[in-house]
Structure 1
Amino acid sequence: MKVLVPVKRVIDYNVKVRVRADGTGVDLANVKMSMNPFDEIAVEEAIRLKEAGKADEVIAVSIGVKQAQETLRTALAMGADRAILVVASEDVHQDIEPLAVAKILAGVVKEEAPGLVLCGKQAIDNDMNATGQMLAALLGWSQATFASELSVEGDTATVTREVDGGLQAIKVRMPAVVTVDLRMNEPRYASLPNIMKAKKKPLEEKAPADYGVDVTPRLAVVKTTEPAARKAGVMAKSVEELVDMLKGAGVV
């Protein structure tokens, strides 16, 4: 069984995001970029499936700018077997929308015929949380979202989902699309030998036109602003004063 893992290049989660002076988006100049953390967990889970003998090949896919090669090399260094880069934009500030990404991924799936697609539940840059669900709908496949545990046996997968009320266990028929949550695993660090080996692993470049997909944006960002500054706290001098303050705020 092949496992396909889409990965996205995003601003590193440790970086403080800055809004551009003209309010047209986020400033990406000289900013550290890395793999979306949820996608990193998906790559780790795919590698674990291969190590357990449940998968034969792990394929990483990225859709975006040429610089996403670095993200794919990270996935290859972690243990993915090969990678596909769909160069959909020359502008690092252009975010490819979820529907276009899902359509391209559907084309990749039809070519590669994987038994499982493992996605991060969302990207930390736009928080859309839509690509996995759209992909499952386009393919007509089973889907399991917000997964914290995954077990594959034959043609079925048992998935533990994180829901508002706690945990929900479901079984889905393969092939399936599974979107992973933060608590599924702890991604491994790529060792230096594996980083060197990753440079020789296959990385194929494609274009959206190869899959007959138009990536022209359907949404326009009107304005981007910094979040409102948090007000300074007030120190209560006594418990009574604190209670009065809470009552005044309608908390108690």
Structure 2
Amino acid sequence: MKARLIIFLNWFVLLGSTLLVCAVLGIILVDIFSKGMSSVTWEFISQPPAKGMTQGGILPAIIGTLWLTLITTLFAVPFGVACAIYLNEYAFPSILTNVIRASIRNLAGVPSIIYGLFGLALFVQAFRLGTSVLSAGLTLGLLSLPYIITTTEEALKRIPNSMREATLALGATQFETIKDVVLPSALPGILTGVILTLSRAAGETAPILFTGVAFYINGLTSSVNQEFMALPYHIYMLSTQHQSIEQVRPLAYGTSVVLIAMVFLLNLTAFYIRFKNRTQQ
């Protein structure tokens, strides 16, 4: 009887915590969508800002965010996956690998604004890339690396060693085993972690604050060497720095709706990949 009571209390606490978190999230989403959906029109999405950003749309910010996500992906994904493959498939247990793993875990906890200052010192000043979408994308790539490495390594660990041993017994090399057996089996988990990490990076403001984002640019970002507008920074500026905050507040909420929709689509893609993999197994 006592054991059943403890189980019921644990279940009640867990369920209550889950419902509380969902309720808070629901309140936030309802507030944002109720105040921002009226501003989201085709003109809002397809036109640049106008009249001191009190009218018009957010097309440059959308294009800049897409540029940013693309550069982050091209930089972070290959290096992150390669590092995870080395740690899980090639590196032997040692003090060095333990130090590397501990460093990666610690980097995942570094505040994002620190990455922004580091990106300013490294990419903008040391490498002389200037304040540009390239510098900002590389900075976000550094921010994303620890998460991609960790999720990829966990996906690789879930592949049974028996599959590796069977392939090696048939005469395949370790590289062929990783390329033809391990990576295809772990690909859904890797893609899920990568997409969730990129969706998080797309909403970051602090790392791009010092490396290339601009309050307003005349035209679309067409080169990686240009400054750019981005949705999260656009929301921040409309909400705190604009000279007519009350007038542009509906536009800030509308921009928030668009950013949430983009992140939601990325997360939905990750969930679809995970679900498709489970149904095939």
* TM-score normalised according to structure 2 size: 0.22
Larger radius of gyration: 2
Relative contact order (alpha carbons < 8 A, sep ≥ 6): 1 or 2 greater?
Answer: 2
Which TM-score applies when normalising by structure 1?
Answer: 0.24
Identify the structure with the greater helix proportion.
2
